[in-house]
Chain A
């Protein structure tokens, strides 16, 4: 189906999220929609999939002007959207999730639907048990389920919003193969991403948005430098990797066994030394979040122990606050849900994090403190701004500003997820500054480049197995990708035996 937008404009208050955007995507095309955060990609896709009505402009399908009332109407007209976090029902069975929303009689014909589901899944070589529960699937499988569902409902245009963020390399390859197959059958695919390499390896065309406007369209072969130029309007500097200066032990995980809701990890052994950065890689749900939270006392090992400092102080079974007293900080990925307190101002956050002494609040002193930190961390906000009014990047800066001195160990989940390149560079600059002063960092990322670029050593998690620490300087993207996907693990063991 051919998709055309003409003069789409959408404002939120004073912000023009989409400003007079027009383009046409012919059928059987995979169109990449590129742009940094806030460029207007999501808004445009939400207009196409019926979440928003444009302030002005038209949408044409196969040359015919259409009105899209809501997401369900969009799918009736053939437009299906796959959300970054699949919008499904974790507590339901796969088959119930699949048929929820399909109209019909009072009783669903479950057996017939299961047959159709299996046939459809077989076409794309997906193996999902229709009787299993959605919350037992990986993110990649949940995407597959959504794709099957949208196809079953008759989607002829598929919109994918940052689909490669949370999935493993093999799952990504499978996804790309599926999309190519669908395009070959005449499907139109809109692939929204800020990852150039994904767009370059998958798309037939790329359209770039910047600050709500369409800045250009490019066909293969893609000129990476030109695309980056279009996306950011300027060259983005890359920092050279400095040699780590490693000191004594700050954390020692000894033969740790962990049990999560659906994951078990056995025998992790890791010594984290002062000043180094350790990246935890793996597909989402492979156990790295469980391990990281256990390093902070937020989860308990069932075997083994966690020790802090040179003197190997045993902290097993202690709470996060006891870890915190000894200089450990944890930065969760969900900023507004787990790390900041909506409704309180920046000043109030600084007061709380500082653990100020006394009984009555010293307003003057706390506002000074807030002003100092705000300018030091370059936060766009005022001392009395509520945190929820800040942008994602500024919230992340505020999180860094909230960390106390001195710290021995910082544990970070996805330090730059959802941030634009400028903020990413800034955040890592600040983190590296800490390392220079002897703080160790352990972080999780699903972005392989980020893992390789910033880590000194890397731990790969796969289905509860964990590699020994690998030297990031000798690790290639390909090897990392294969390990994340569960390949080469036996070779790893022989290597370890030789070493």
Chain B
């Protein structure tokens, strides 16, 4: 592969990671507040289908994107309502919605299958695009990819540097303590679940109005992305930059699968397409293994310096979820 092709590929990986990034950042915000939104897989499909349908009907990509965000926000609201107000298991509600939204997108998307509709195009940034190498990689993308770069920094800044971000972290870590400090815990959780849902909902239109323009039903290749998003959220340790790294890693692995295809003719293409999925989830093994009891048990007998080094590595890899994740909050 020559240099130009490589540079274009890197730019392609960045663009391909954009929808995953939106979804991961949205989920991270929601989980930081304590709401696990497991519906991601179906929600992305539904928002992809719904936003394409809206864009097709109105011939407006902007309305398409808004529809995608609205669908994400609505599904997140249902998760929040069922779990925060009605005290149902977040995992159960999320799983049911994941299935329901998936079937709903296939059912409602049937009439618009394979139609050609509007899509967003690349917007090279003047001057900057002419920087060698970097210009192609960073500054000849579409608007949503630019936005995905901004989103990482913005999310990090909000969560770790601002006052409301501090309250957000508090609500997720110890809701009772946030409550006595004046936070309306359930309202905060609703708000961030819905905001997170809206951000994640943009992943759908990024697919259906850009990367994989159109709606192709069960062969869209989008089924499964949502589950990956959830595992990248864990891999990212609920931190935007680490999560972004995970999203780029996933996009890179997918690209690698495509590149390796010609050199591995004996492996069916369907296998390479799903290869990043198990790989991504196996990485969870590395970020979680430090939590396992037997690791402690066997580490205890090692010489002190070895033990410290291993413990240090494990701690760096380890991701601790917000303590209040998934558990309801009762004032008393």
Contacts and interface: CB of A to CB of B under 8 A. Distances in A.
- Judged by CB atoms under 8 Å, the answer to whether A and B touch is yes
Interface of A: 46, 51-52, 70-72, 75, 81, 87-92, 96, 99-101, 103-108, 259, 300-302, 317
Most buried by A among B163, B170, B183, B301: B163
A51 B180 CA distance: 9
Contacts of B174: 87-90
B291 to A, nearest CB: 13
B173 interface: yes
Nearest to A86: B177
Contacts of A106: 162-164
Interface string B120-151: 00000000000000000000000000000000
B300 A104 contact: no
Across chains A and B, which 3 residue pairs bring their CB atoms closest together, nearest first? Answer: A101-B181, A72-B182, A300-B300
20 contacts: A51-B331, A70-B179, A75-B182, A87-B177, A87-B180, A89-B169, A89-B173, A90-B174, A92-B169, A92-B170, A96-B169, A100-B167, A101-B167, A101-B181, A103-B182, A106-B162, A106-B163, A302-B301, A302-B304, A317-B301
Nearest to A71: B180
B187 to A, nearest CB: 12
Contact of A101 (B183, B300, B307, B332): B183
B211 interface: no
B131 to A, nearest CB: 32
Nearest to B320: A91
Contact of B301 (A52, A92, A105, A300): A300
B162 A100 contact: no
Given A51-B331, A106-B162, A107-B162, A100 B181 contact: yes
Interface of B: 161-164, 166-167, 169-170, 173-174, 176-183, 296-297, 300-301, 304, 307, 320, 323, 331-332
A105 B161 CA distance: 12
Contacts of B332: 46, 51-52
Question: Chain A CB within 10 Å — which of B161, B177, B178 has the most?
Answer: B177
A495 to B, nearest CB: 31
A107 B300 contact: no
A46 B164 CA distance: 27
Given A51-B331, A87-B177, A101-B183, 4 more contacts: A70-B182, A89-B173, A101-B182, A105-B163
A259 B302 CA distance: 13
Contacts of A317: 297, 301
A300 B162 contact: no
A334 to B, nearest CB: 16
Contacts of A259: 300
Nearest to B158: A106
Contacts of B307: 302
Contacts of A75: 180, 182
B170 A107 contact: no
B78 to A, nearest CB: 27
Given A87-B176, A107-B163, A108-B163, A72 B181 contact: yes
B88 to A, nearest CB: 17
Contacts of A91: 173, 320, 323
A3 to B, nearest CB: 19
Nearest to A96: B166
A100 B170 contact: yes
Interface centre among A72, A81, A101, A103 (most CB of B within 10 A): A101
Nearest to A109: B163
Nearest to B163: A108
B301 A71 contact: no
A293 to B, nearest CB: 12
B176 A108 contact: no
A103 B177 CA distance: 16
B267 to A, nearest CB: 44
A104 B167 CA distance: 12
B206 to A, nearest CB: 28
B170 A89 contact: yes
Contacts of B179: 70-72
A107 B297 CA distance: 44
A96 to B, nearest CB: 6
Contacts of A89: 169-170, 173-174, 177
A315 to B, nearest CB: 14
A107 B161 contact: yes
A105 B164 CA distance: 9
Residue of A46, A89, A108 with highest tally of chain B CB at under 10 A? A89
